[in-house]
């Protein structure tokens, strides 16, 4: 049983998976960017942003 060779092969698999994951992340919208985007959505608008809705009164200007 050639343990050294098997460990080397295992490292190759790990590196290959990393390469594929990075490639997929780079070409698909379902990568880290999407996760970041969803996090931003979940957080909601930033602090201090002024929101005005058409038809709303002055009270409609909210600081969220």
Q: Is 35 in the site for another protein (CB under 8 A)?
A: yes
Contact 6, 14 (CB under 8 A): no
Ramachandran category for residue 55: left, alpha or beta (phi over 0 → left; psi -120 to 50 → alpha): left
| Residue 52 lies near another protein (rule: CB under 8 A) | no
Q: Which helix (H) or strand (E) segment is 51 a member of? A: strand 50-51
Least separation in angstroms between residue 16's CB and another protein is 6
Q: Select 16 or 52, whichever has its Cβ closest to another protein.
A: 16
Q: What's the full length of the chain, in residues?
A: 64
Interface residues toward another protein, by CB under 8 A: 1, 6-7, 9-10, 12-14, 16-18, 20-21, 24-25, 30-32, 34-35, 38
């Amino acid at each position: 049983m050639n343990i050294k060779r098997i460990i080397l092969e295992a490292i190759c698999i790990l590196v290959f998976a990393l390469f594929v994951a990075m490639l997929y992340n780079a070409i698909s919208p379902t990568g880290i960017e999407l996760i970041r985007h969803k996090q931003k959505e979940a957080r909601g608008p930033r602090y201090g942003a002024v929101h005005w809705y058409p038809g709303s009164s002055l009270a409609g200007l909210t600081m969220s």
